[in-house]
């Protein structure tokens, strides 16, 4: 699954009544975790103590239009860069009423590390397989 549907709730908004930037990044992370689950990747096991971790080492988000409480959104995930120990996910956000219009775009860069040594570790085969299913060109 490389799309995620969600409603914007009051708790996602700031005092001005629009989505708070950190809330949309959190929602993008929900989309990421849901996509992993749909690919039968157990996120809890993947990042359990003594195993691996996939910390986000960079995140950014751009808003092109405001999002409000009650908006139904669609988030499309794509992998734009895949290396041995890291990957970048792009999240394109649109409103369900106008899915062709991108209202926000976010990016997260993840690095795979061994939790015991805190050193980079190759991505698991299952994660690479999932990333390849959502891979796209850098033009997105």
The model's pLDDT over 19-62, given as tens digits with 9 standing for 90+, comes to 999 999 999 999 999 999 888 887 777 766 667 889 999 999 99
- When pLDDT is cut at 50, 70 and 90, the band that residue 4 belongs to is very high
Q: What residues does each domain of the chain span?
A: 3-133
Q: What is the DSSP letter of 116?
A: T
**What local confidence, expressed as pLDDT, does residue 139 receive?**
42
**How much is the pLDDT for 140?**
42
- Examine the pLDDT at 137 and tell me if it is beyond 50: no
Confirm if 71 and 136 have CB atoms less than 8 A apart.
no
Position 61 scores a pLDDT of: 97
Q: Does residue 74 contact residue 4 with C-beta atoms inside 8 Å? A: yes
The CATH class for the domain spanning 3-133 reads alpha beta
Instruction: Please identify every residue annotated as catalytic.
Output: 14
76-119: pLDDT as tens digits: 999 988 899 999 999 999 999 999 999 999 999 999 998 888 89
């Amino acid at each position: 699954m490389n799309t995620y549907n969600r409603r914007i709730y009051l708790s996602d908004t700031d005092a001005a009544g629009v989505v708070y930037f950190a809330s949309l990044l959190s929602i993008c992370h929900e989309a990421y975790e849901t996509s992993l689950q749909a690919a039968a990747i157990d996120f809890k096991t993947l990042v359990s103590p003594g195993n691996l971790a996939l910390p986000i080492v960079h995140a950014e988000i751009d808003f092109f239009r405001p999002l409000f409480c009650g908006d139904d959104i669609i988030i499309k995930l794509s992998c734009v860069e895949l290396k041995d120990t890291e990957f970048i996910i792009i999240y394109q956000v649109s409103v369900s009423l106008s899915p062709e219009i991108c209202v926000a775009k976010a990016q997260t860069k993840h690095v795979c590390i061994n939790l015991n040594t805190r050193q980079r570790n190759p991505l698991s085969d299952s994660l690479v397989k999932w990333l390849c299913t959502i891979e796209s060109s850098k033009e997105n």
